[in-house]
Amino acid sequence: MKTAPNLVLVGPMGAGKSSIGRRIAGRFGLAFIDADREIEKRTGANVTTIFECEGETGFRARERDTLADLLGGEAQVIATGGGAVLDAGNRTRMRERGFVVHLHVGVPRQLSRLARDRTRPLLATQDRERVLRQLAEARAPLYAEVADLRLDTDALSPGDACATLGRLLAQQWSRASAGTPRAQA
């Protein structure tokens, strides 16, 4: 069993990090924080606008700073953006300050879940499938590197995913509290 002060959700867009994260937070009595929404709150601009004005590099710098702040807290479920794992420092902080769950979803299900979503800058293209496949290829090893647990959400509703994840977390994660030394994973 790994002891960590936070639960961190990683995975591709459309995996259910936000919807499952909210439910899990409620189930375990934790605060829920969507890292992308926190970045928007801090900048006063949405992710699309940040990408337009600062590019992906500018957004990733904001993401790095925001995650560092968030991971300094405890008793939270943090839903990260799909690309948060690209930064080695983010991966290190997630492993140090969180029990990291990789919510996996395949590209066909992503396409279905994101069909009407026009808010994701990386999907502002005609060939969404190609982009999602490229992102999956580049990021899958990073999700695997950082994850303490992997849950495939492809065939699960948010409720079923939450129930399954809740059972797995009860077996594998112990929440650290202030002043409690962390156990080694």
Binding residues: 14-19, 36, 60, 82, 120, 139
Q: Nearest CA to 66 among 102, 30, 36, 99?
A: 36
Contact partners, residue 19, CB within 8 Å, separation at least 6: 158
Q: Under the phi-then-psi rule, with left for phi > 0, alpha for psi from -120 to 50, and beta for the rest, what region is 22? A: alpha
Cite the annotated binding site for ATP by residue number: 14-19, 120
- 3-state SS assignment for residue 103: strand
Residue ranges for the known binding site for Mg(2+) are: 18
Tell me if 168 sits within 8 A of 113, measured CB to CB.
Answer: no
Binding site, annotated residues for substrate = 36, 60, 82, 139
Q: What is the per-residue DSSP string for 58-86?
A: HHHHHHHHHHHHHHTS-SEEEE--TTGGG
